[in-house]
Amino acid sequence: MPFQPPSFGERQYWNDRFTSNSNPFEWLEAPDALDPYLVDALRETRDQNPKVLHIGCGTSLLSYHLRAHVKQPEQIHNIDYSEVAIEVGRKREIEIFSAHKNSEEESDVKSTISDEVEGNNTTTTSKGNKDLTKSLSQLTLNETPNMNYMRWSSANLLSHTSLLNACKPSTYSVIVDKSTSDSVACTDDTYVPLPYHVNTTPIASTPVTQSPEPVHPVHILAIHLALVAKPQARWIALSYSAERFPFLDRPLYQSTSPNLMSEIASTLASEGFHDFDYELDDDLDNIPQQMIDNGLPDPSTLWTLAGKYEIEVPQQETKNGGSMTTITHRPQVLHWVYVLERTNVEVFVRG
Ligand SMILES: C[S@@+](CC[C@H](N)C(=O)[O-])C[C@H]1O[C@@H](n2cnc3c(N)ncnc32)[C@H](O)[C@@H]1O
């Protein structure tokens, strides 16, 4: 039977996965990997109580870790199109932060973050997260103690109506994306109406046609996120791809070689991501000018690249004649952190 890659771009895949195993699972990096970029973004914002949108939260412990970065948990909004992940996340937050727990763990997390800000960090994983893998208790939402929690919503980032049901336009100062755009990139390219629903000029009664070509899903993601982000908001994205955002100026880095791609695949497999299909998203075409002229916003006018950083993935140890040894011939595998900044170009939704 021909090789069938997992459907990382389909909601059903994620619902099945989170239903069969609701334990916390981290893609690519630990929850604190984005701390320096988050701290910087929150320091730079002029908002007193900046709102943080955590897209494609899955079952990552990053959701709870984010609480330590803000004054009020309500400033954090976790969204995912898997309603299973959202329910698991909502209940787990109650379990961790309810009256059953003393406040020490949260202050433990906060002190870890402030250590990192002050440059004296020696830990890579938040101490406050150490017990988070406990199975879910019988807690239901009705038993929620009277305290504050983060926001949790099920929403599809590739549907502007679904996103707007969960998020108000021009609201978020920081968008956190831990390998979610990787997953979105696995969604099929789609034909879209032109002018597009979300546009840089107010559109009302213009006749609508179908785009002559299907559009890459990461373009659509960028346009939709521009709608809910404030001007100068930062979109902090962790990815395994050196070319995650097709609309950004390239090449900042040389394109990843096929050999390195197979090394990435084998590293991902060794981390548990079997059959990870790194070829699904290599269609990084720019949007044809004709489509932009006919009303598809150019994402490069909505977001600029403020920074791109590499994270070295530690080499795997393997068994060699009974003893553990580090592979030395393997090229270094990198993960990438992109910091995108929202421009001042306004976007509107078709009335
Ligand atoms: C690779 S996982 C990353 C999960 C988590 N951020 C982490 O680091 O462990 C991708 C997540 O994005 C979600 N996702 C994928 N496409 C989405 C979409 N179109 N709208 C909302 N969520 C999406 C999936 O349900 C899944 O939880």
Give pLDDT tens digits for 166-192. 999 999 999 999 999 999 999 999 999
Domain assignment present for residue 4? The answer is no
Domain assignment present for residue 3? The answer is no
Domain assignment present for residue 122? The answer is yes
Domain assignment present for residue 185? The answer is yes
Give the whole-angstrom CA distance, residue 304 versus residue 338: 10
Q: Give distance in angstroms: CA of 57 to centre of ligand 1.
A: 6
Q: Give distance in angstroms: CA of 295 to centre of ligand 1.
A: 28
Q: Residue 132 pLDDT more than 80?
A: no
- Residue nearest atom 13 of ligand 1, based on CA coordinates: 56
Instruction: Find the CATH number of the domain harbouring 104.
Output: 3.40.50.150
Decide: residue 343, CB within 10 A, 0-12 exposed, 13-18 middle, 19+ buried.
Answer: middle
Domain assignment present for residue 244? The answer is yes
Q: What is the reported pLDDT for 334?
A: 92
pLDDT confidence band for 332 (50 / 70 / 90): confident
The token pair at 54 is 């955590």
Give the whole-angstrom CA distance, residue 273 versus residue 118: 35
Ligand 1 pocket member 303 (CB < 6 A): no
Give the whole-angstrom CA distance, residue 147 versus residue 318: 47
Residue 28 CA: nearest ligand 1 atom is 8
- Domain containing 196 equals 11-349
Domain assignment present for residue 6? The answer is no
Q: Give distance in angstroms: CA of 280 to centre of ligand 1.
A: 16
The larger pLDDT score, comparing residue 319 to residue 214, is at 214
The count of structural domains within the chain is 1
Tell me the per-residue pLDDT of 259-311, one tens digit each, with 9 for 90 and over.
444 454 555 555 555 434 433 344 456 788 889 999 999 999 999 999 999 99
Average pLDDT of span 150-175: 98
Average pLDDT of span 297-326: 80
Domain assignment present for residue 1? The answer is no
Give the whole-angstrom CA distance, residue 335 versus residue 311: 5
Domain assignment present for residue 331? The answer is yes
Q: Give distance in angstroms: CA of 254 to centre of ligand 1.
A: 27
Residue whose CB lies within 8 A of the most ligand 1 atoms, among 61, 81, 224, for a mutation test:
81
Nearest in space to 52 (alpha carbons), one of 62, 61, 104, 60: 62
54: left (phi over 0), alpha (psi -120 to 50) or beta: beta
Tell me the per-residue pLDDT of 59-78, one tens digit each, with 9 for 90 and over.
999 999 999 999 999 999 99
Decide: residue 123, CB within 10 A, 0-12 exposed, 13-18 middle, 19+ buried.
Answer: exposed
